[in-house]
């Protein structure tokens, strides 16, 4: 299972795969922009400010998706001590921080015309801000140690524990009363959104998911190159791959 996943990941992250993914993402993002800004009508009460829905929700979705990938990759790293899992977690966390910050900023921009304020300590906003701080901390932890193995181990622990805030943030609109609206699209039961708006939203979610794959692919390549530079500088043995050197260090340190 893991090896077939790695084979698929290998194909996507190959230079040609990365280019194709980049173009597919660009086309999907353009389609999403047309759906959101041209096809979808303005909201009856919020006017055109409601169009922020089509980038705010996909940004929040990417934040959750990124941190779920960090969670899984961190567990996989702790179980196997393979460098590629740590690299995947680092790549995904960086993308997650960007989109969490974007979701908060877009929410603030939307809140001003709709709620009359840029900021309020609503449960969803507060738990999402905590999520952002946790993963900024995760990225900071990655800079604390010079040892790749120790850095990966500490980061993996934060990646696993930090994920606890994701379900809290998602369910906060159900658990506590606040200004933020509840779930709009339900997998089970009827959605409370007009069909054309739902199509525009789903197009956005799809485009942002492709964007996530593209960004993580490029970030993974960067991680491999950075590791290779470190291994080239440190390796006393010529002809050994960076991957092998880093994994040797990881297993030696337990």
Partner 1 sequence: MVSVVPSLWGYAIAGYVMTAGAIGLYVVALHARARRARDRAAAIAGRRRTSTPP
Exposure string (b/e) for 141-155, b if CB count within 10 Å is 16 or more?
bbeeeeebbebbbbb
Choose the stretch contacting partner 1; rule: CB under 8 A; options: 51-59, 119-127, 139-147, 173-181: 51-59
Q: Is residue 225 close enough to count as binding partner 1 by CB under 8 A?
A: yes
In the complex, the smallest distance separating the C-beta of residue 113 from partner 1, rounded to whole angstroms, is 5
Give the nearer residue to partner 1 in terms of CB position, either 20 or 105: 105
In the complex, the smallest distance separating the C-beta of residue 186 from partner 1, rounded to whole angstroms, is 25
In the complex, the smallest distance separating the C-beta of residue 106 from partner 1, rounded to whole angstroms, is 5
Exposure string (b/e) for 54-66, b if CB count within 10 Å is 16 or more?
bbbbbbbbbbbbb
Q: Is residue 49 close enough to count as binding partner 1 by CB under 8 A?
A: yes
Alpha carbons 95 and 98: distance in angstroms, whole number: 5
Q: Determine the size of the site formed for partner 1 (CB under 8 A).
A: 38
Angle of helix 53-80 versus helix 195-234 axis, rounded to 10: 40
User: Which tokens sit at 10?
Assistant: 């290998």
40 burial (CB, 10 Å; 0-12 / 13-18 / 19+) is buried
Number of other CB atoms surrounding residue 28 within 10 Å: 19
Choose the stretch contacting partner 1; rule: CB under 8 A; options: 3-11, 33-41, 76-84, 160-168: 33-41
Q: Which of 210, 220, 215, 214 is nearest to 86 (CA)?
A: 220
Q: Which of 104, 134, 156, 215 binds partner 1 (CB under 8 A)?
A: 215
Choose the stretch contacting partner 1; rule: CB under 8 A; options: 46-54, 75-83, 129-137, 193-201: 46-54
Q: How far from the centroid of its chain's Cα atoms is residue 14's Cα?
A: 21
Q: What is the DSSP letter of 42?
A: P
User: Which tokens sit at 97?
Assistant: 């921080």
Q: Which of 1, 38, 233, 252 binds partner 1 (CB under 8 A)?
A: 233
In the region spanning residues 73 to 132, those forming contacts with partner 1, defined by CB under 8 A, are 98, 101-102, 105-106, 109-110, 112-113
Give the nearer residue to partner 1 in terms of CB position, either 9 or 222: 222
Q: Which of 42, 137, 167, 182 binds partner 1 (CB under 8 A)?
A: 42
Q: Which of 12, 17, 46, 171 binds partner 1 (CB under 8 A)?
A: 46
Contact 82, 214 (CB under 8 A): no
Q: Is residue 48 close enough to count as binding partner 1 by CB under 8 A?
A: yes
Interface with partner 1 (CB under 8 A): 33, 36-37, 42-49, 51-52, 55-56, 59, 98, 101-102, 105-106, 109-110, 112-113, 211, 215, 218-219, 221-222, 225-226, 228-229, 232-233, 238
């Amino acid at each position: 299972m893991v090896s077939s996943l790695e084979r698929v990941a290998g194909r996507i992250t190959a230079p040609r795969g990365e280019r194709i993914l980049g173009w597919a993402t660009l086309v999907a993002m353009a389609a999403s922009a047309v759906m959101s800004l041209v096809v979808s009508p303005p909201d009856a009460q919020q006017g055109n400010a409601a169009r922020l829905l089509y980038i705010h929700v996909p940004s929040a979705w990417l934040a959750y998706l990124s941190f779920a990938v960090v969670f899984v990759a961190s567990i996989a790293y702790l179980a196997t001590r393979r460098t590629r899992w740590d690299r995947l977690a680092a790549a995904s966390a960086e993308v997650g921080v960007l989109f969490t910050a974007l979701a908060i900023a877009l929410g603030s921009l939307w809140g001003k015309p709709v709620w009359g304020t840029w900021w309020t300590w609503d449960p969803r906003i507060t738990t999402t801000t905590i999520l952002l701080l946790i993963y900024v901390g995760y990225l900071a932890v990655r800079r604390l140690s010079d040892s790749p193995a120790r850095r990966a181990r500490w980061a993996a622990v934060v990646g696993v524990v930090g994920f606890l805030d994701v379900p809290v943030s998602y369910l906060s609109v159900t658990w506590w009363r606040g200004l933020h609206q509840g779930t709009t699209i339900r997998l089970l039961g009827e959605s409370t959104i007009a069909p054309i708006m739902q199509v525009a939203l789903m197009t956005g979610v799809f485009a942002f998911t492709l964007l996530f794959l593209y960004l993580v692919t490029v970030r993974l390549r960067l991680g491999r190159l950075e590791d290779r530079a470190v291994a080239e500088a440190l390796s006393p043995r010529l002809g050994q791959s960076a991957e092998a050197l880093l994994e040797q260090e990881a297993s030696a340190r337990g």
